[in-house]
Every structure is written in structure tokens, then in C-alpha cells.
């Protein structure tokens, strides 16, 4: 009875069909793109009304229903917003020697713009009829302004870009100590240019 000494080979011809079936299933149900976007934190529901802010420390932005952008009561093109926001934040209006003087600011020190980036608030109102696309464009321009200033300072202090630091913080391949050091650096930069973006009505102190 030695008809079938060697094992007959398993027919692998249909394996390709099975694999193709799986492949097509994944092609159909999957999307290739990972989501990207702008991160924001909403203010908590129960907030103590913030202390009144000096008018010069508020950068007022509003969108009307025709998607026109108003900056401090004048109309502005979207292209110019980033520069204007940077000029406002980086102004450094308090003269040297005084309290609240901003040592790292490179602005013109104009009396109409912010005292110190730490105090500066951007207030952004949008009409209910304004389009979401425009809203995101404005948010993007403001983020760009903050990122550029933060990049400048982190280049000066640590020789790295702030945006790259943040990115490498969220990708996990580093030891705990490195991560803590990086976190401290990121927080230092964030404290220099804290993002204070208010979408509520900002009350100014009457002088």
C-alpha cells in the first residue's frame, strides 16, 4: 500500500483569488488620507467674566455676512492679516525699564498696538451668515502669525523651529527625560506668545 508515499502538493492556485478578494475589500472600505486640521480649545461654559482688558491690547477682527474682514473698524484683505496680527502681537509697547516691558519683541512700539504679547488678546467675531471657509482662512492666518513669532523665538533660544518641536513631541520616539525637556521648552515659548483668541464679546476697560 505505498501508492501515496509523498504528500500531494496543496493546490495554491486559489490563494491568489482569496487574497484579491481581501485586497478589493480593503480598497473599497478604506480611505487613504489621515485627517489634518486646526486645533482649538473652546472656553468652558461657566467662566468668570475676564478682567477688563485695555483697548490697545485687543485686536478686533470681525467677519460680516459678505465674508468681508474688518480689522479695528477698517476693511482688510486676507493676505494682509498675518502681517497685521504679527505687528500687533510683537509690538512691545511698554518702554524699556518699565514693568511689563517685552524684552524679546521686535515691533515698532506703537501706542495703538499691544503692550506685551502676554497681554494681547485677539477678539474675533463672525456674522452668522459668514462662510465657514472664510472663517477657517482667518483662523489659519492667525495661527500662522503665532507660529511665525514662536518659531522666531525658539530659533533664538534653542536653535529649533517651534512647529518642529511640537511635532516631535507628539511622535513618540524619545525617552522620558528628552520629552520632559522638550515640554519645558515648548511651554516657555508658549508663555512668551500665549494664544489668546476670544470669540466672545471682549469688553474693554474705559480709560
- Smaller CB separation from another protein, 94 or 144: 144
Eight-state DSSP code of residue 32: -
The minimum distance between CB 65 and another protein, in angstroms, equals 9
Query: Which three cell numbers mark 37?
Result: 486640521
Which residue, 102 or 149, is less far from another protein as judged by CB? 149
Least distance from another protein to the Cβ atom of residue 34, Å? 6
**Measured from the CB atom, is 143 or 204 closer to another protein?**
143
Q: Which residues bind another protein (CB under 8 A)?
A: 12-13, 15-16, 19-20, 22-23, 26-27, 29-32, 34-45, 63, 67, 78-79, 126-137, 139-141, 143-144, 147, 166-167, 170
Nearer to another protein, 101 or 190 (CB): 190
Minimum Å distance from CB 86 to another protein?
13
Strand partners, 74: 71
Task: State the Cα–Cα distance between residues 131 and 154, nearest whole angstrom.
Answer: 35
CB of 157 to another protein, least distance (A): 21
Q: How far apart are the first and last CA of the chain?
A: 110
**Residue 28 Cβ vs another protein, minimum distance, rounded to whole Å:** 9
Determine the Cα angle at 106 with ends 104 and 112, to 5°. 110
| 75 contacts 87 by C-beta, under 8 angstroms | no
Which cell goes with 174?
524619545
Q: Judged by CB, which is closer to another protein: 19, or 181?
A: 19
| 175: phi then psi, degrees, rounded to nearest 5 | -75, 170
CA distance 104 to 5: 86
Amino acid at each position: 500500500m505505498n501508492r501515496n508515499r509523498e504528500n500531494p502538493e496543496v493546490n495554491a492556485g486559489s490563494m491568489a483569488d482569496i487574497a484579491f478578494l481581501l485586497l478589493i475589500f480593503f480598497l473599497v472600505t478604506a480611505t487613504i488620507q489621515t485627517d489634518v486640521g486646526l486645533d482649538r480649545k473652546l472656553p468652558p461654559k461657566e467662566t468668570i467674566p475676564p478682567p477688563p482688558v485695555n483697548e490697545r491690547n485687543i485686536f478686533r477682527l470681525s467677519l460680516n455676512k459678505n465674508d468681508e474682514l474688518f480689522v479695528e473698524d477698517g476693511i482688510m484683505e486676507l493676505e494682509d492679516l498675518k502681517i497685521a496680527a504679527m505687528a500687533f502681537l510683537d509690538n512691545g509697547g511698554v518702554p524699556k525699564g518699565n514693568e511689563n516691558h517685552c524684552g524679546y519683541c521686535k515691533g515698532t512700539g506703537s501706542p495703538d498696538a499691544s503692550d506685551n504679547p502676554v497681554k494681547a488678546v485677539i477678539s474675533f467675531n463672525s456674522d452668522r451668515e459668514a462662510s465657514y471657509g472664510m472663517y477657517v482662512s482667518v483662523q489659519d492666518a492667525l495661527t500662522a502669525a503665532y507660529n511665525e513669532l514662536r518659531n522666531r523665538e525658539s530659533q533664538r533660544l534653542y536653535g529649533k523651529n517651534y512647529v518642529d518641536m511640537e511635532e516631535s513631541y507628539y511622535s513618540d520616539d524619545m525617552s522620558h527625560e528628552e520629552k520632559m525637556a522638550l515640554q519645558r521648552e515648548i511651554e516657555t515659548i508658549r508663555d512668551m506668545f500665549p494664544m489668546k483668541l476670544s470669540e466672545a464679546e471682549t469688553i474693554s476697560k474705559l480709560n
